């Protein structure tokens, strides 16, 4: 979206005053337009803030780079699985290399906390995925 400088300043001021990101603001406007006269609350929901553990920014940067590399590997594997060249590729060897990378990360960072979701959250995510697959509205 393009804005004049005055519009941009006005929008930024408004977003700061209501503690919304641009994405949240646009999402709320779309919901309001789609749902007609039903009111949409443009105020940001209060979130409980957790104290983040202190970490070296350089380590976080390197972990981010590793994450990007893993995403590229996953994308390549998804492309490769549908390719005639799949016979020449050793998925077992790839799995071994990725497992070794995981072990090296655990050795360096220690055991990372497990992220768990409640059964209700899992069920909700499952229902949304089924609706999305069927083409239902998931807003």
Residue 72 lies in a domain: no
Does some domain include residue 109? Answer: no
**138 pLDDT more than 50:** no
Length in residues, the chain: 139
Chain segment 92-106, per-residue pLDDT in tens: 888 888 888 888 888
CA distances from 77 to 51, 63, 72, 74, 96 (A): 37, 21, 9, 5, 14
**78-128 pLDDT per residue, tens:** 887 777 777 777 778 888 888 888 888 888 777 767 777 888 888 888 888
Residue 25: inside a domain: yes
Q: Tell me the residue range of the domain where 39 lies.
A: 1-49
Q: 32 is written with which tokens?
A: 């309001």
The answer as to whether 7 is a domain residue is: yes
Contact 34, 8 (CB under 8 A): no
Q: How many structural domains is the chain composed of?
A: 1
Q: Is residue 35 part of a domain?
A: yes
Residue 17 within any structural domain of the chain: yes
Helix (H/G/I), strand (E/B), else coil: 127: helix
Question: What tokens does 70 get?
Answer: 């893993």
Q: Is residue 126 part of a domain?
A: no
């Amino acid at each position: 979206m393009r804005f004049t400088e005055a519009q941009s300043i006005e929008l930024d001021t408004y977003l700061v005053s209501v503690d919304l990101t641009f994405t949240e603001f646009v999402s709320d406007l779309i919901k309001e337009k789609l749902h007609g006269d039903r009111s949409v609350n443009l105020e940001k929901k209060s979130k409980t803030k957790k104290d983040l553990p202190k970490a070296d920014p350089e380590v976080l940067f390197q972990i981010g780079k590793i994450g990007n590399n893993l995403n590229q590997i996953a994308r390549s594997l998804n492309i490769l699985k549908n390719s005639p060249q799949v016979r020449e590729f050793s998925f077992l060897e790839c799995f071994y290399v990725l497992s070794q990378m995981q072990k090296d990360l655990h050795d360096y960072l220690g055991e990372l906390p497990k992220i768990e979701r409640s059964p209700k959250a899992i069920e909700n995510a499952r229902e949304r995925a089924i609706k999305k697959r069927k083409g239902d509205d998931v807003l």
